[in-house]
Structure 1
Amino acid sequence: MSDLQMSLGIAGKGMSGHQTSHASTHEWLTPPEIIRALGHFDLDPCAPETRPWPTAGKHYTFEDNGLVQEWSGRVWMNPPYGDFVHDWMRRMVNHGNGIVLIFARTETATFFNYVWPHAHAILFIKGRLRFHKVDGSKAKNGGGAPSVLIAYGEDNADALQKCGIAGQFIRLDQTSKAIDAEVVDDAG
């Protein structure tokens, strides 16, 4: 595995990392209707090399290593899934302005470290998302787990609440927490 793959959190995976052991491809794209419903984003730091539709005004791909690039504005993030998702989530928490799409695994260290104490709102998407292939066609089956959209910043929480995506919206009270504080890693 290259240093770039390690820093991106991708060990032999495509940029989006939505995969199962039976998948014929490792790169799965966010359905375009999700992006359209959430409005314009300035940056996608986890963009696939090949994309049939834009996800933001600016895209960082695997080769750009979006994890170490400068982030500005409103960020859309569908991070590579796997062992390094916490690095991407920590970066979003520290940036504080964007929406993340990940699996709704609420019992994990990722949720307890980067979602519950820092996010402003979450939207549990009804049903399983059907991601798209890089040619734009829909995958035959839904994702490997339920998905959730996570908003960082009040404007993004408002966007989630008004987006019209079917699911359960929950606004989180972050008034007593330091949202812009550095997140400390834990081993769990």
Structure 2
Amino acid sequence: MAEHESCIGGSDDWYTPRDMLDAIGLTFDLDPCSPGAGHWVPARQIYTKADDGLAQPWRGLVFMNPPFGGRNGHVPWLERFFDHRNGIAVVRAYTSSEWFHETVAPRAEALLFPKGKTQFIPSDEVRERLEREAAAKGKVWRNAPGHGVVLIGMGDTAINSLRNSGLGLFIDRRENLTEAA
């Protein structure tokens, strides 16, 4: 998922856990990176990979768990999210990376670093493949990412929800944004 690391499982299909969304407690107007209808992100409208959410209009409160794709593939999504200025995005808390310092640090209004490691949910296909690969090596696959994440809040509704979620360390940066960079 990071600049020098390949995505665990070689897939962008890693979904935000339901308990995190429950703690956030919002219904979003748009999920521009949805795996499809029936997924558990509470959003009134979704765009899937086939819709190309980057090319579509965004409106209202957005929830975004962007695809990482290749090297820095998530950065155009983050730039679009920051330009939209209303919602919650979840990305890797890779604070030593250039993209974090150039894209996230100067623009994020609020940051929430969840306690512990977030157990993202793989698609059924990815989970089955990872379980088979582990079994072939005599091991059991466990969903244990090697890194933390950060939830980025933009706009009052998103920021207040993150503040009240109880998920972890919350930082409201709105008063200090002019000092960032």
Fold match by TM threshold 0.5? yes
The TM tier, using the shorter chain, reads 0.7 to 0.9
Q: What is the aligned residue count?
A: 157
Preserved CA contact (<8 Å) 1:47 1:55: no
1:158 is matched with 160
Within 2, Cα distance between the matches of 1:107 and 1:19? 17
Distance 1:110 1:154, change over 3 A: farther
Preserved CA contact (<8 Å) 2:93 2:149: yes
User: Per-residue CA shift, 1:31-57, capped at 9, x if unaligned?
Assistant: 011112221111010111375423411
Q: Relative contact order (C-alpha < 8 Å, sep 6+): which is higher?
A: 2
114-123 or 96-105, which deviates more:
114-123
Structure 1, unmatched stretches of 5+, are 1-17, 178-188
Distance 1:111 1:83, change over 3 A: closer
Matches within 5 A, 1:142-157: 142-157=144-159
Secondary structure at 2:79 match in 1: helix
By how many angstroms is 1:175 displaced? 6.4
Matches within 5 A, 1:15-94: 19-20=7-8, 23=9, 26-38=12-24, 39-49=26-36, 52-81=39-68, 82-94=71-83
Structure 2, unmatched stretches of 5+, are 1-5, 128-140
| TM-score normalised over the length of structure 2 | 0.76
Q: RMSD over aligned Cα, in angstroms?
A: 2.6
Matched, 1:119 2:108: yes
Structure with more strand by fraction: 2
Structure with more helix by fraction: 2
